[in-house]
Amino acid sequence: MENLFVVLHVFIMLLLIAGLFVMQKKHVSFSKRVFTALGLGIVFGFALQLIYGPASHIVTQTADWFNIAGGGYVKLLQMIVMPLVFISILGAFTKLKLTHNIGKISGLIIGILIATTAIAAAVGIVSALSFDLKAVHIDQGSTELSRGQELQQKSEDMTAKTLPQQIVELLPANPFLDFTGGRPTSTIGVVIFAAFLGIAFLGVKRKQPEHAATFSGIVDAVYAIIMRVVTLILRLTPYGVLAIMTKTIATSDIDSIVKLGMFVIASYAALIVMFIIHLLLITFSGLNPVTYVKKAFPVMVFAFTSRSSAGALPLNIKTQKSMGVPEGIANFAGSFGLSIGQNGCAGIYPAMLAMMIAPTVGQNPFEPGFIISVIAIVAISSFGVAGVGGGATFAALLVLSALNMPVALAGLLISIEPLIDMGRTALNVSGSMTAGLLTSKMTKETDTSVYNDSSIVIEAEEA
């Protein structure tokens, strides 16, 4: 009998997928299809939970089948991350017109990413203190305890090395290992390796332009192929979102989510404030923030629903170009933003956790010296955060370990992780686009006529 119900649920899922496919054939916009998938997934997930309960064997079996679409979609995103980061950084070097400005451009982008992450940490701190968030108020169930033990083990593996040793670990001793994502800092390792190849390309371009031209052509060809692969994956987003949301809602402990509702509210309050700061920075640069919101909306919707900064990279770059940012700067900003200074995952989240956990170790969270140290550590630790899943956890482990706080308490938030991760990822992407936009404005390379052209809006399927 149970198998019959599972088959019925899978059949309903296939019908919903068919409905999304019909919407695609009728050329309904990508954003509308993604939000439709999000809504359908939430409704279907709640229905399964109310009828059977999240721990039901039927729900567990059904979720396994749904995971073919949801988990498969995430796997495809993970598959393309490293090739995408590598070719985007390398392509940034081959596409930059003013090669003598590379140091200035990369310095500005990294500086803006780190500065905005420090600001994001401050915003997270204010939010946590304003909402009086404390880890002692959260119940520890078996799932939370298990997650806490897992994080504790990860932290011990990381803290076995000194800070100088951890800095050296960022360097790619074996770039081919980093292409497999075999290390927590693999993304930054790939970025560094690609940057070295890019710098070497510039040297060859001056002395042997014919070889540089050949190499540039190869990079352009590979870039086009990789971007095409990404486009094919992005077209699966509505289906992946539908399956992921249905599974997440159906198997989540709603009571735990309700109990942690204050953290969710505080997190989104901080995320919204930080997004407003992005808009203020854009306004101060002399650009219309409303235009930015209109053009950034599709990529932020994708980031929100997919929870993947890396998956959003092609759309990120195209969107920056639709704002008049040169392709080279857009590539640098988008790619660096995957591993450096993610405002949501590496800024707000670990700062809020530090404020929550501080009272449990006898630390006064209102102490100015402690607040300054949290902001500084968050900013420094924001290097090497992965762009697909787990980035926020990695950042939290680094920050809490540096502050000598019990990292296991971070496991208390496992039930609401997917919910807040959507907003964090959207803010990460906005942060990298803001860095690209401000950098191009500072270097006087922004094409304001393109920026102000409201008809140029990029959808995911155009990436």
284-300 pLDDT, tens digit per residue, is 999 999 999 999 998 99
Q: Of all residues in the chain, what percent carry a pLDDT higher than 90?
A: 36
Confidence tier at 401 by pLDDT (50, 70, 90):
confident
Mean pLDDT of the chain: 84
Main-chain phi, psi angles of 388, to 5 degrees: -130, 105
Please indicate whether residue 133 or residue 384 has the higher confidence score (pLDDT): 133
Q: Which of 141, 171, 41, 151 is nearest to 410 (CA)?
A: 151
Instruction: Reply yes or no on whether the pLDDT at 55 is more than 50.
Output: yes
Q: Which two tokens stand for residue 329?
A: 């700067």
pLDDT confidence of residue 438: 96
Q: List the alpha helices (DSSP H) in 252-323.
A: 254-259, 261-284, 289-306, 313-322
Q: Which two tokens stand for residue 21?
A: 């496919």
Confidence tier at 439 by pLDDT (50, 70, 90):
very high
Confidence tier at 411 by pLDDT (50, 70, 90):
low
Q: Which of 7, 65, 51 is nearest to 247 (CA)?
A: 65
Full-prediction pTM beyond 0.85? no
Calculate mean pLDDT across residues 260-281: 93
Contact by Cβ (8 Å): 378, 426: no
Instruction: Reply yes or no on whether the pLDDT at 185 is more than 80.
Output: no
Residue environment code for 153-169, b if the CB has 16+ CB neighbours within 10 A, otherwise e: ebbeebbeeeeeebeeb
Distances in whole angstroms, Cα of residue 241 to Cα of each of 10, 133, 269, 281: 15, 30, 24, 32
Rounded distance between C-alpha atoms, residue 255 and residue 325, angstroms: 46
Contact by Cβ (8 Å): 40, 243: no
The separation between CA 80 and the C-alpha centre of its own chain, rounded to angstroms, equals: 15
Distances in whole angstroms, Cα of residue 395 to Cα of each of 29, 161, 330, 450: 35, 16, 25, 36
Instruction: Reply yes or no on whether the pLDDT at 32 is more than 80.
Output: yes
First to last CA, the chain: 45
Which phi-psi region, left, alpha or beta, contains residue 287 (left: φ > 0; alpha: ψ -120 to 50)?
beta
DSSP for 341-379, please give it.
--IIIIIIHHHHHHHHHGGGGT--TT-HHHHHHHHHHHH
Calculate mean pLDDT across residues 223-227: 88
Distances in whole angstroms, Cα of residue 303 to Cα of each of 115, 160, 357: 22, 34, 29
Q: Which two tokens stand for residue 328?
A: 């080279």
pLDDT confidence of residue 149: 53
Rounded distance between C-alpha atoms, residue 147 and residue 156, angstroms: 14
326-366 pLDDT, tens digit per residue, is 988 898 899 888 878 889 988 999 999 889 888 888 888 89
Q: Of all residues in the chain, what percent carry a pLDDT higher than 70?
A: 87
Rounded distance between C-alpha atoms, residue 301 and residue 294, angstroms: 11
Rounded distance between C-alpha atoms, residue 91 and residue 308, angstroms: 21
Instruction: Reply yes or no on whether the pLDDT at 148 is more than 90.
Output: no
Site of tokens 């971070």: 410
Q: In terms of C-beta density within 10 A (0-12 exposed, 13-18 middle, 19 or more buried), how is residue 362 classed?
A: exposed
Q: Which of 102, 89, 121, 315 is nearest to 188 (CA)?
A: 89
- In CATH, what class is 2-462? mainly alpha
Distances in whole angstroms, Cα of residue 128 to Cα of each of 124, 188, 225, 353, 357: 6, 29, 44, 8, 11
Contact by Cβ (8 Å): 318, 290: no
